[in-house]
Structures are given as structure tokens and as C-alpha cells.
Chains A and B, each alone.
Chain A
């Protein structure tokens, strides 16, 4: 059981370049999330999805776009990378946000370390 898989694990970009981070989960989770983690700060939500074909903005969506064409995949795109987007990006999934015996705990991918020069 692979859980949540992110690709690539590492990437170096030049300012203005574009790229896509891919997240795949095999747990049949409805909810998927993209976070960024920067030193001294809590995880910040970029975008999230509550189901196939749906996306919503999180706390820091500017400069990013997402797509959820298939339930198991959640893509994060940077159209024109900026040095401020240098960060570690984590994808996560959950069965739901909460409800019943389900706590809504998140399952995280291993992270993608992005450097923008």
C-alpha cells in the first residue's frame, strides 16, 4: 500500500519557469490538500479538493493552480515560479474532513523540495 506519493521529490527552477507537482493516493480518499512548509512557520494550505472535479483556495493560493481530474490524483502547478515559492510542498489526503468515528486525520506524502533561483 503506497499511501500518498509525490513526484518529483526535488526540483530546482529558475525564476519564471513553470512546473507541476503530482500527488497520487491509493486510499480512495475524497479530500486532498496541498501545503507548503517554511522554516519557523506552520503548514500553510495552498489549495484543496473535496472530491473529483472540485478545487478550492486555501490560505496562500496566489501563484499556484491545481486540478483534480481523477479522484486519486491532485496536481499543483506553478505557472511562473518566483524565489518566494522556494519551500517544501506536502500533499495530503483524508477520507473526509471529519464525521463519525473518522477523525479526518491527514495522510501526508513524503514532500517535494522546490528551490527557485
Chain B
């Protein structure tokens, strides 16, 4: 079966750095996405990785290792507004998205 694993919840301090991991087992691979979802709101696109390596976008970076079936989202200089759920999704060989259950990130002052 296809599976995406991410931690259920993480806590970090304002101004610090946090890394949210995602491991996947899917039928094929055609890209990995990270989305941010604030409570009661819609998911919004953060990043996309299809080749191994690091993609940087401001305070957010996403890393991919296809051989290990592993990705992480790195958030730097955490702000209170970063409190949200972070969803990892993998596009499989049929170009269908497989979603993780999301990681709820709590930022403390």
C-alpha cells in the first residue's frame, strides 16, 4: 500500500528553527509537495521537489532524497504566524496525490 508518514505534532520556539520530516512509500514518484494549512482554512502551496536536493524559498526550505523516500521542510526564524499544520503529499506513478495526515506545528513565545 501507499503511505506517507509525518509526526503528528511538534512544538518550537519563536525565532528558532524547526525541521518537519516526511517519509513515503508510494507506487512510483512524480514529485513531492508541502502545503501549509492554518486552522479552519484551506491548504496553501509551499514547495515542490522532484529532484534530490534542497529547494530554498525565503525562510522555508524543502529537501528531498528519492533513494531514501524522505523529505523535510525546514522553517527558519520562526514566527507566531507559522503556527499551522504542514501537509506532505507525493504524486505517484499515476499522477495521483497521496497525502500525509499533516504535522501540527505549535510556536511558543
User: Is B45 a contact of A43 with CB atoms below 8 Å?
Assistant: no
Q: How many pairs of A and B residues are in contact by the CB < 8 Å rule? A: 52
User: Is B42 a contact of A110 with CB atoms below 8 Å?
Assistant: yes
The listed residue (B44, B87, B91, B95) touching A42 by CB distance below 8 A is B87
Count of chain A residues with a beta carbon within 8 Å of a chain B beta carbon: 19
Check: B97 CB closer than 8 A to any chain A CB.
yes
Q: Could you tell me the distance between the alpha carbons of A110 and B40 in the complex, rounded to whole angstroms?
A: 8
User: Is A98 a contact of B95 with CB atoms below 8 Å?
Assistant: yes
> In the assembled complex, how far is the CB of residue B106 from the closest CB belonging to chain A, in whole angstroms?
16
User: Is A109 a contact of B42 with CB atoms below 8 Å?
Assistant: yes
Check: A90 CB closer than 8 A to any chain B CB.
yes
* Chain B residue contacts of A109, Cβ below 8 A: 42
User: Is B101 a contact of A42 with CB atoms below 8 Å?
Assistant: yes
- Give B residues with C-beta under 8 Å from A: 4, 8, 30-31, 33, 35, 40-45, 48, 50, 87, 89, 91, 95-102
- Give A residues with C-beta under 8 Å from B: 40-45, 58, 90, 97-98, 103-111
